Amino acid sequence: MILRGLGLAGLAILGLKKSFGTVDVLKGIDLEIREGEFISFLGPSGCGKSTLLRCIAGLEELTEGAIQLGGREITDLPSAKRDIAMVFQNYALYPHMNVRKNMAFGLSLNGMPGVEIDTRVRNAAEILRITELLDRKPRQLSGGQRQRVAIGRAITRQPKLFLLDEPLSNLDASLRVTMRAELSALHDRLGVTMIYVTHDQVEAMTLSDRVVVLDKGRVAQFGHPLELFHRPANLFVAGFIGSPQMNFLTAKVEGQTADSITVSLNGAALTIPTLGHAPVDPARPVTLGIRPDRLEIADEGQLTGTIRLAERLGTENHLHIALSSGGSVVVITDGTHPARAGDQVKLRIPPADAHVFDADGIALPRRLDAATEALISEPEGPADPA
Amino acid sequence: MTDARRISSRRLPGLAPWLFISPWILGFFLFTLGPMIFSLIMSLHDWPVVGERKFIWFDNYTTMLTQDPRFWESLGITAKFALVFVPLNIALSFLLAVLLNVKVRGTSLFRTAFYLPSIISGVALVMIWKWIYSKDYGLLNYGLSLLGVDGPNWLGDPNWSILAIIIASLWGLGGTMLILLAGLQSIPKELYEAARVSGVPAWAQTVYITIPMLSPMLLFTFITSLISAFQQLTIALLLTKGGPTNSTYFFAMYIYDNAFKFHDMGYAAAMSWVMFLIILTLSVLVLKYSAAWVHYEGEAKGGGNG
């Protein structure tokens, strides 16, 4: 509540670029992360999210740019001096050392007194409930236990910043859900800044205070998880967040005011409210986006098509529909909806639920109802345990 | 094909697997186990190359152990050689492997260069070393003279000859180096990254991560180096012929002389068996005490993923 903006342990990334030889992996990243935030780096493989994390960790040298942690320049500091701890995807436990030694190894080599190390290891073990495993070797542990040890090793360093590189991706699905909840609880308990790299949008959406979506080495959007969903900044984010994917349709601009735009789709006109937008070039086509759960099967609609495939999941149906105007969309209906493959249907697009992207793929800011607007507005700083 | 199937399936069920394994079985019995048993029988005989063979029980062994100072002398020289050669061979191979594991331009060229001596014929190698070691025309003494050092008579001085052979033998460490290099490359790089993040200095990474992770390979190379040290023959035979004044008269060379110079096959066979038992005992001892320092990644007990 007291520290706003860059807190004491806030992280600032300024104009970060990273190239491997002639390949530019990160093409200018600017981020400001507040103290105590849980941040996810989300993106498809190859978007540079792990490289960005490794740059922050000091495992990769920057090609350009700077990194500050807690107001201190750390760009050229060795990893160990950055006040960070890192958890690796494959845990990176030393297989020949027992759990206790794994956690204490780095500390003892840095000359920390044995009593202090003991206290830290015991505390970390208690937090993660691995006290009874302290004398085991990593190979005698299950995947989830190894993950806990890896996190425990990070905790003993008492860092200002935790870096987690896809820490749950080697676990099976049910364990992943459990560990997700535990990570969230751990963040609340420690109150320390965490950066979490993942390609799993569910992890990013459920764990994070804010999410950085990366696309081909650039920040596609940085915001509250629901903001990414309800107000995606561009086509990439709109298509990446949400499953099944958002439907995209090409439309023509018919007219626009300061806070609405009228487009035509197969001859039908559709006026979509915006939050106020810069004028769009009417000569170039725009993209209309509509989420599958917002498309309605109705008696009258802008689109017509034939159901090619009906996937009945119980609570909901996923209908894959080939449009008569070409292309296809996915519609989610209630699980009891009677539509079957082969049926001809009409689809209605509720204007308030439509997203409009200009010819460059940039979203026109969407006007949301008050309830949704309240949901996506950023919380007042990090969650306060008190 | 159809005949074979008919035979195996009807008249002799279970023949097929034996047929598949037969090349190895034949080779093993004819060329390994057979000669071993034969040499054991030989070692219990007075077995000249030509002439009467006489069964003499363990006379060859008792003679060797009680009445043959040359046996003990050659064994001593071999042990001295092994004591220096084995640690040096492993240490230098490890050092080279670590250097070659660094990613710099031309690494593969260096790898090939360091391995090259291992594929050159031993005889050619010895010829080169003979020239290098030559007292008056040798490369080594020429180099030393540039430093103002008057080089010794490497192959002619009993104090230097064993060192000369150790150095020449180390030239073939490419194989050991390659095994250690492969081991180094199988160590996950995240272990070092985790160590870097924790502030573990480079020396400690080597001592506490690299060496334990490499321990199975170190054990393997330790035993193979030990075996090759005890079997040392080619280089000594061609470089010094055991001289000067028997200072490089290795155990294997004594066996060789007994068999092919003194034509006493029984005695040579008995000595071979003694060498076999020595190597076996040392290997068993090394393996037994290795449990304390060798870490095997694969011996997963319990746990598993889940």
Nearest CA in chain A to B201: A109
Q: By the 8 A CB rule, do B175 and B262 touch?
A: no
Nearest CA in chain A to B209: A94
For residue B215, list chain A residues with Cβ-Cβ distance below 8 A. 96
> What CATH number is associated with residue B162?
1.10.3720.10
Per-residue pLDDT for B303 more than 50?
A: no
Number of domains in chain B: 1
Distance from the A79 Cα atom to the nearest Cα atom in chain B, whole angstroms: 5
pLDDT for A383: 46
The SS3 call for residue A251 is strand
Cβ contact B301–A140 (<8 Å): yes
Mean pLDDT of B208-230: 92
Per-residue pLDDT for A386 more than 70?
A: no
Give the ranges where A6-98 is alpha helix by DSSP (H).
49-57
Q: Which distant-in-sequence residues (6+ apart) come within 8 Å of B241 by Cβ?
A: none
Nearest CA in chain B to A140: B303
Q: Which residues pair with A24 in a beta bridge?
A: A19
Residue A73 token pair: 């320049």
For residue A20, list chain B residues with Cβ-Cβ distance below 8 A. none
- B301 and chain A: CB distance < 8 Å anywhere? yes
Q: Which of A52-66, A229-243, B130-144, B274-288 has the lowest mean pLDDT?
A: B130-144
Nearest CA in chain B to A85: B197
For residue B198, list chain A residues with Cβ-Cβ distance below 8 A. 80, 105-107, 109-110, 153, 157
- A92 and chain B: CB distance < 8 Å anywhere? yes
For residue A144, list chain B residues with Cβ-Cβ distance below 8 A. 306
For residue A109, list chain B residues with Cβ-Cβ distance below 8 A. 198-201, 204, 208
Q: Which domain holds residue B161?
A: 59-123+154-290
The band of B300, judged by pLDDT with boundaries at 50, 70 and 90, is very low
Report if residue B221 sits inside a domain.
yes
pLDDT for A8: 55
Report if residue B76 sits inside a domain.
yes
Alpha carbon A268 to chain centroid, angstroms: 36
- Using CB atoms, which residue from A86, A96, A172 is nearest to B295? A96
pLDDT for B151: 78
**CATH 2.40.50.140 residue window(s) in chain A:** 295-348
- A21 and chain B: CB distance < 8 Å anywhere? no
- Give tens-digit pLDDT for A105-141: 989 888 899 999 999 999 999 988 899 999 999 999 9
- B219 and chain A: CB distance < 8 Å anywhere? no
Q: Which of A88, A70, A208, A82 is nearest to A153 (CA)?
A: A88
The band of A290, judged by pLDDT with boundaries at 50, 70 and 90, is very high
Q: Which CATH number fits domain A295-348: 3.30.980.10, 2.40.50.140, 1.25.40.10, 3.30.70.3270?
A: 2.40.50.140
Tell me which of A69, A83, A94, A176 to substitute to probe the interface with B (most B C-beta atoms closer than 10 Å). A94
The fold of the A11-236 domain, in CATH, is: Rossmann fold (3.40.50)
Q: Are strands A260-265 and A210-215 parallel, antiparallel or unpaired?
A: unpaired
Give me the amino acid identity at A296: E
Distance from the A156 Cα atom to the nearest Cα atom in chain B, whole angstroms: 10
Distance from the B193 Cα atom to the nearest Cα atom in chain A, whole angstroms: 7
Report if residue B34 sits inside a domain.
no
- Give tens-digit pLDDT for B170-197: 888 888 999 999 999 999 999 999 999 9
Report if residue B45 sits inside a domain.
no
The fold of the A245-288+358-373 domain, in CATH, is: OB fold (Dihydrolipoamide Acetyltransferase, E2P) (2.40.50)
- Residue A263 phi, psi (nearest 5): -120, 155
pLDDT for B291: 79
For residue A89, list chain B residues with Cβ-Cβ distance below 8 A. 190
% of residues, chain B, pLDDT over 70: 93
- B34 and chain A: CB distance < 8 Å anywhere? no
Classify residue A363 by its DSSP letter: B
Give me the amino acid identity at A143: G
- The count of C-alpha atoms lying within 13 angstroms of the C-alpha of A258, restricted to the half-sphere facing its C-beta, is 0
Tell me which of B103, B197, B218 to substitute to probe the interface with A (most A C-beta atoms closer than 10 Å). B197
Cβ contact B190–A88 (<8 Å): yes
- Using CB atoms, which residue from B188, B193, B303 is nearest to A139? B303
- B189 and chain A: CB distance < 8 Å anywhere? no
Per-residue pLDDT for B200 more than 60?
A: yes
Report if residue B178 sits inside a domain.
yes
- B190 and chain A: CB distance < 8 Å anywhere? yes
Contact pairs from chain A to chain B, CB under 8 Å = 89
Distance from the A64 Cα atom to the nearest Cα atom in chain B, whole angstroms: 22
Mean pLDDT of B160-174: 87
Q: Which residues pair with A320 in a beta bridge?
A: A309, A330
pLDDT for B297: 67
Sheet strands side by side (includes A286-290): A268-273, A260-265, A247-257, A286-290, A355-357
Report if residue B306 sits inside a domain.
no
Mean pLDDT of A229-248: 95
- B148 and chain A: CB distance < 8 Å anywhere? no
Mean pLDDT of B247-273: 90
Interface of A with B in 104-123 (CB under 8 A): 105-107, 109-110
Cβ contact B306–A139 (<8 Å): no
pLDDT for B78: 93
As a whole number, the mean pLDDT across chain A is 90
The band of B9, judged by pLDDT with boundaries at 50, 70 and 90, is low
% of residues, chain A, pLDDT over 70: 95
The SS3 call for residue A348 is strand
- Using CB atoms, which residue from B199, B213, B297 is nearest to A80? B199
Cβ contact B194–A80 (<8 Å): no
Strand locations in A49-174, DSSP E?
64-69, 72-73, 84-87, 161-165
Nearest CA in chain B to A139: B300
Tell me which of A98, A105, A132 to substitute to probe the interface with B (most B C-beta atoms closer than 10 Å). A105
Mean pLDDT of A182-211: 93
Q: Which distant-in-sequence residues (6+ apart) come within 8 Å of B242 by Cβ?
A: B236, B248, B249, B250, B253
The band of B3, judged by pLDDT with boundaries at 50, 70 and 90, is low
Q: Which of A188, A214, A186 is nearest to A201 (CA)?
A: A214
